[in-house]
Amino acid sequence: MLEIGIIICFAIVLFLILHNFPNTKEDKTGAEMSEKKSTNFWKKLSFGKKKNNSDAIQKAIDAAKEMIIPPSETENAQVKFKEDDPEIAKFLFEADSALEKSDLREAEEKAIDAVSKNKKCGKAYEIIGNVALQRGAFDEAKQSFKTSIKCNPEMGGAYFGLGQIDLKNENFTEAIENLQRAVALDRSKADWYCELGKAYMEVRQFAKAAKALKRATSLDIDNKRYKELAAEAEEKQRAHAAAFRMK
């Protein structure tokens, strides 16, 4: 794959060089005029087009480099996504990277490429679900997340996506169930714990909410919002306990 990318890079550069190379044919009936035109051409090339040609070539090189994923990145993607097929791992890496940049079209296309290679690729369906979720297509997102879990029951991101939809639709019991599954599969996601804490707050389980939100804060210590929510949950927990004692 790397060698192919390098060949593509050099082919683009060679094309641009040949495309912009001057025509050396001269008019035999006007040698002097031809020489003058040739001089003017090279003067313009040197002072007017040199920078433009260099810029075009550099852009072509940069674009070709973006198409090349180093073998180490592909290997890392195979480990990260638990994917044996390096080509599918490459598609997932590209889709995930595009999603992080909010390039939804690219993310969806690369995820679909992965599905075309393996119709049971749970991670690809999860990415498609996240794309739909960001577009506000909640029914489509929900279906994609469910398909992801059907393909691979350990897709924590798909459970998190379902929890987000349930929370938005005020299905708090279902949201808690899905978010609990998500954090059980991956305990390193601060935003997952935050959403779980918010779901607990909605059903007035303030002790559990405080615990989840403090966990989110410990995973992302600079997040002011998490700290505020954790403090709010603890305050409501104390108030709720005091009210219970007074009864």
The whole-angstrom separation of Cα 236 and Cα 209 is 10
In a domain, 108, yes or no: no
pLDDT of amino acid 244: 67
Check pLDDT > 50 for residue 60. yes
pLDDT digits (tens, 9 = 90+) for 211-230: 999 999 999 999 999 999 99
Split into its structural domains, the chain has a count of 1
Contacts (Cβ under 8 Å, ≥6 apart) of 221:
none
Distance between CA 37 and CA 180 in Å, rounded?
76
pLDDT of residue 82: 82
200 or 48: whose pLDDT is higher? 200
Out of 25-29, 67-71, 110-114, 237-241, give the one with best mean pLDDT.
110-114
pTM of the entire predicted model: 0.71
Q: Is residue 62 part of a domain?
A: yes
- Is residue 64, in this structure, part of any structural domain at all? yes
The candidate with the shortest Cα–Cα distance to 135, out of 98, 159, 109, 103, is: 103
Instruction: Give how far Cα 14 sits from Cα of 9, 11, 52, 118, Å.
Output: 9, 5, 16, 37
What is the domain extent for residue 61? 1-15+50-68
At residue 2, does pLDDT exceed 50?
A: no
Between 138 and 50, residue with greater pLDDT:
138
* Residue 58 in domain: yes
Domain-located, residue 168: no
**Would residue 92 count as lying in a domain?**
no
Q: What average pLDDT is seen over the chain?
A: 82
Q: Assess if residue 59 is contained within a domain.
A: yes
pLDDT digits (tens, 9 = 90+) for 147-159: 999 999 999 999 9
Judge whether 112 lies within some domain: no
pLDDT in tens, 78-118: 777 788 889 999 999 999 999 999 999 999 999 999 999 99
- Please tell me the total number of residues recorded for the chain in this structure: 247
The answer to whether residue 168 scores a pLDDT higher than 80 is yes
